[in-house]
Amino acid sequence: MPGMRVVHIEDYFHPSAGYQVNVLAKYMAKQGHSVIVVTAEMEKIPEHLKNFFEIENLKKLDKEYLKETGVDILRLPLRGFISGRAIFKKNIFKIVDDLKPDILYVHGNDTLTAIRYILRLKKIKYPVVMDSHMLEMASVNRFSKMFRMFYRKFLAPILIENKIKVIRTQDDRFVEKCLGVPLLECPWISIGSDTLLFHPDENTKNIFRKDNNISENDFVVVYAGKFEEDKGGMFLAQTFERKFSTAKHITLLLVGNMNGEYGRKVDELFKNSENRIIRFPTQKYTDLARFYQAADLSVFPRQCALSFYDAQACGLPVISEDNSVNIDRLKNNNGFNFKAGDVSDFRSKILQCVEMPEPEFRQLGRNACKFVRDNYDYKEIAKKYTEILTQEYERFHGGKISGENNE
């Protein structure tokens, strides 16, 4: 199959992150496609996003990402950033047109950028695919009811009329139930893990533990991510505030920056913990695997996380709250769910893993690794995405891909 020119539009893109677009674009380039990510400048990005990743050397990082993956990054100026949505200047449409995409992939069907593209679909001379990352549990904006009514009445009919695919990254009915887009047009393709990076590695584990004065007999728990309220930063700190009643020595690895007043309070509670805690700043996605490889268990205190699959790919059982997504993810004897918001139950699940006979606990880890490799390896997931992109190109043009953009 000749390669396509695939243009992704994403409001926020950082080359060091491990979001879906970062990994998906990389694998599409490895498949032989010409891939460009159109995204926002960093100057007007909200502070909470700026603080999470390094932005001082962004041009250098963008160039390194291009060199490593073959994916080009085009940053455009913004009018501003409102309610978590980038407001691109009107020239974004001409800029994207001039890139002559074989297909345009708009990330987030509920972003302002996606809405603007939906309203001008009749003017676009190439196929468009969108995706949805939203879950109802995460849709907490106070204007959400009004937005959903607007979307169902004015935008969903346009998507349906033009048969625009909205790929669901979660097996959830949000797009149909809340936005009025039928599941028939919303195939589900899960997020996953880049197993070229994330896999068990005993040598890395031993080196990491030696460098950080962690005994091979210590039980190491890792959390890597944001420490914001919606991710349960304070809840995690409260969970590790008191020493666990076990003969084993527990060490908690924390990977991520703590920002703002909330972050300061979380940091203070961690400093007063009776357990050993080792802190690391936010890491590049390509440097993150060693933290999972050095640990025994991964925890997610609140909601869901993309890094679930990365931790499991490294052979770690997971403990996460009992929402519907997490219950489904941990139904293969690959971890445990705790009662959401219940510190006592969270601690008991951690202690259950610590005290579990080693052969039984190691089997959980093997189950976790197999679960990801069999079902959520980005090498295979990316093929499913490009199958849909190819189908949409052929449906739009009524024929096979010519590959003329890539000669």
**pLDDT of res. 146:** 92
Residue-wise pLDDT for 31-84, tens only, equals 999 999 999 998 877 776 666 676 778 999 999 999 999 999 999 999 988 877
Mean pLDDT of the chain: 93
Spatial contact of 376 and 190, defined as CB atoms under 8 Å apart: yes
The dihedral of CA 72, 134, 347, 329: what is its sign?
negative
**C-alpha span between 329 and 382 (Å, rounded):** 20
Domain with CATH 3.40.50.2000 in the chain: 5-192+378-406, 202-375
Find where tokens 């080009």 sit.
72
Mean pLDDT of 184-196: 95
Cα 290 to Cα 406: distance, rounded to the nearest angstrom = 37
How high is the pLDDT of residue 85? 84
Least confident of 32-46, 127-141, 203-217, 357-371: 127-141
**pLDDT average, residue stretch 267-283:** 96
Task: Give the orientation angle of helix 58-69 with respect to helix 20-30, to 10 degrees.
Answer: 40
Distance in angstroms (rounded) separating the CA atoms of residues 34 and 28: 8
Phi, psi (rounded to 5 degrees) for 130: -125, 175
CA distance linking residue 38 with residue 72, whole number of Å: 9
Q: Return the structure tokens found at 66.
A: 């291009």
Q: Which CATH architecture has domain 5-192+378-406?
A: 3-Layer(aba) Sandwich (3.40)
pLDDT above 60 for 403: no
**According to the model, what pLDDT value does residue 252 have?**
98
What is the pLDDT, as a whole number, of residue 400?
A: 63
Tell me what percent of the residues of the chain surpass a pLDDT of 70.
94
Cβ of 302: how many Cβ atoms within 10 Å? 19
For 352-382, write each residue's pLDDT tens digit: 999 999 999 999 999 999 999 999 999 999 9
What pLDDT shows up at residue 407? 38
Residues 6+ apart with CB under 8 A from 68: 26, 286
Task: Give burial (CB, 10 Å; 0-12/13-18/19+) of 52.
Answer: buried
Distance CA 158, CA 152 (A): 10
pLDDT tens-digit map of 159-180 = 999 999 999 998 889 999 999 9
Q: Which CATH number fits domain 202-375: 1.10.1040.10, 3.90.120.10, 3.40.50.2000, 2.60.40.10?
A: 3.40.50.2000
Sign of CA pseudo-dihedral 223, 226, 231, 234: positive
Phi, psi (deg, nearest 5) at residue 7: -110, 120
Give the integer Cα–Cα distance in Å for 164 and 121: 10
Least confident of 101-105, 288-292, 383-387, 400-404: 400-404
The first and second tokens of residue 237, run together, are: 């700190």
Residue type, 62: D
**Rounded to the nearest 10 degrees, what angle do helices 378-397 and 20-30 cross at?**
80
pLDDT class for 402, splitting at 50, 70, 90?
Answer: low
Phi/psi at 69 (nearest 5 deg)? -115, -20
pLDDT band with cut points at 50, 70 and 90 for residue 406: very low
pLDDT exceeds cutoff 50 at 112: yes
Grade residue 140 by pLDDT with cuts at 50, 70 and 90: low
User: Which has the higher per-residue pLDDT, 311 or 305?
Assistant: 311
Under a CB-based contact definition with an 8 Å cutoff, are residues 19 and 378 in contact? no
SS (H, E, C) the chain: CCCCEEEEEECCCCCCCCCHHHHHHHHHHHCCCEEEEEEECCCCCCHHHHCCCCCCCHHHHHHHHHHHHCCEEEEECEEEEECCEEEECCCHHHHHHHCCCCEEEECCCCCHHHHHHHHCHHHCCCCEEEEECCCHHHCCCCCHHHHHHHHHHHHHHHHHHCCCCEEECCCCCHHHHCCCCCHHHCCECCCCECCCCCCCCHHHHHHHHHHCCCCCCCEEEEEECCCCHHHCHHHHHHHCCCCCCCCCCEEEEEECCCCHHHHHHHHHHHHCCCCEEEEECCCCHHHCHHHHHCCCEEEECCCCCCHHHHHHHCCCCEEEECCHHHHHHCCCCCEEEECCCCHHHHHHHHHHHHHCCHHHHHHHHHHHHHHHHHHCEHHHHHHHHHHHHHHHHHHHHCCCCCCHHHC
User: Which pLDDT score, from 0 to 100, does residue 401 have?
Assistant: 57
Token pair 């980005």: residue = 378
